[in-house]
Structure 1
Amino acid sequence: MLRTPVCGVLGIEVPIVQGPLGGPWQQSMRLAAAVGNAGALGSVPTTLRTPAQVREDVRRLRDLTDRPFALNMTRRPFDPEVFEAVIAEAPPVFSFALGEPDGLVPRVHQAGAVFVQQVTTVEQAVRAAEAGVDVISAQGTEAGGFCGDVSTMALVPQVVDAVHPVPVLASGGVADGRGIAAALALGAQGVNIGTRFLASAECGVSDDWKAAIVSAASQDAVKVEFVDHILPPPTEGGYTTVPRSLRTRFVEEGNAGPEEAAARADALRGEVMTSMRDGTAHELIPLTGQTAGLVHDVAPAAELVHRLIAEAEATLRALAGLASAHGEGGPG
Structure 2
Amino acid sequence: MLRTPVCGVLGIDVPIVQGPLGGPWRQSMELAAAVSDAGALGSVPTTLRTPAQVREDVARLRDLTDRPFAVNMTRRPFDPEIFDAVIALAPRVFSFALGEPGDLVARVHDAGAVFLQQVTTVEQALRAAEAGVDVISAQGTESGGFSGQVSTMALVPQVVDAVRPLPVLASGGVADGRGLAAALALGAQGVNIGTRFLASAECAIPDEWKADIVSAASQDAVKVQFVEHVLPGPTEGGYETVPRSLRTRFVEEWNSRPEAAAASAEALRNQMMTAMRDGTAYELIPLTGQTAGLIHDVAPAADLVHRLVAEAETALRDLAGLVRTTE
Contact 1:18 1:193 in 2 (8 A): yes
Distance 2:24 2:214 in 1: 24
Task: Provide the identity percentage.
Answer: 83
Q: Which digits, 9 at most, give the CA deviation of each residue in 1:45-82, with x for residues without a partner?
A: 10121101111111111110011000000000000111
SS in 2 for 1:117: strand
| Contact 2:24–2:279 (8 Å) recurs in 1 | no
Whole-angstrom CA distance in 2 between matches of 1:158 and 1:283: 37
Instruction: Give the alignment's TM-score, normalised by structure 1.
Output: 0.97
Q: Which moved more, 1:227-236 or 1:264-273?
A: 264-273
1:90 equivalenced with 2:90 (yes/no): yes
Q: Using the alignment, how far apart are the partners of 1:24 and 1:284 within structure 2?
A: 12
Helix, strand or coil: the match of 1:146? coil
Query: C-alpha deviations, 1:1-45, integer Å up to 9, x for none?
Result: 000000000000000000011224244100000000000000011
**For residue 188 of structure 1, what is the aligned residue in structure 2?**
188
1:20 equivalent in structure 2: 20
The code of the aligned residue for 2:221 comes to A
TM-score in terms of structure 2 length: 0.98
Deviations 1:257-311 (A, max 9, x none): 1122112212211221332343212100000000000000000000000000000
Any conservation in 2 of the 1:74–1:97 contact (CA below 8 Å)? yes
Paired with 1:283 and 1:17, the residues of 2 have a C-alpha distance of: 27
Report matched runs for 1:54-93 at 5 Å: 54-93=54-93
Which amino acid is 1:300 matched to? Answer: P
Q: What letter matches 2:81 in structure 1?
A: E
* Aligned residue in 2 for 1:322: 322
Paired residues, what number?
A: 327
What displacement does 1:100 show?
0.2
Aligned pairs for 1:176-325 (under 5 A) are 176-323=176-323
Inter-partner Cα distance in structure 1 for 2:274 and 2:110: 37
User: 2:151 — aligned with what?
Assistant: 151
Contact kept in structure 2, 1:205 and 1:279, CA below 8 Å: no
Letter in 2 for 1:34: A
Q: Distance in 1 between matches of 2:74 and 2:57?
A: 17
Q: Which runs of 5+ in 2 are unaligned?
A: none
Of the structure 1 ranges 259-268 and 222-231, higher mean CA displacement relative to structure 2 is found in: 259-268
CA distance, structure 1, for counterparts of residue 148 and residue 240 of structure 2: 8
Q: Does 1:172 align with 2:172?
A: yes
Paired residues of 1:33 and 1:42 also in contact (CA < 8 A): yes
Separation in 2, partners of 1:13, 1:193: 16
Q: Which amino acid aligns with 1:72?
A: N
* Whole-angstrom distance in 2 between the partners of 1:150 and 1:238: 18
Q: Which deviations, in whole Å up to 9, do the C-alpha atoms of 1:128-181 show, x marking residues without a partner?
A: 000000000000000001010000000000000000010000000000000000
CA distance in 1, matches of 2:274, 2:91: 30
Give 3-state SS (helix, strand or coil) of 2:112's partner: coil
Shift of 1:201: 0.2
For 1:177 and 1:264, how far apart are their aligned partners in 2? 43
- Residue 51 of structure 2 corresponds to 51
- Retained in 2: the 8 A contact 1:218–1:291? yes
Q: Root-mean-square deviation (CA), in Å?
A: 0.9
Q: Which runs of 4+ in 1 moved over 6 A?
A: none
- What CA distance in whole angstroms lies between the structure 2 residues aligned with 1:270 and 1:87? 33
Instruction: In structure 1, give the amino acid aligned to 2:172.
Output: G
CA separation in 2, counterparts of 1:9 and 1:43? 16
The letter of the residue matching 1:311 is E
Q: Does the CA contact (< 8 Å) of 1:24 and 1:49 recur in 2?
A: no
- Equivalent position of 1:107 in the other structure: 107
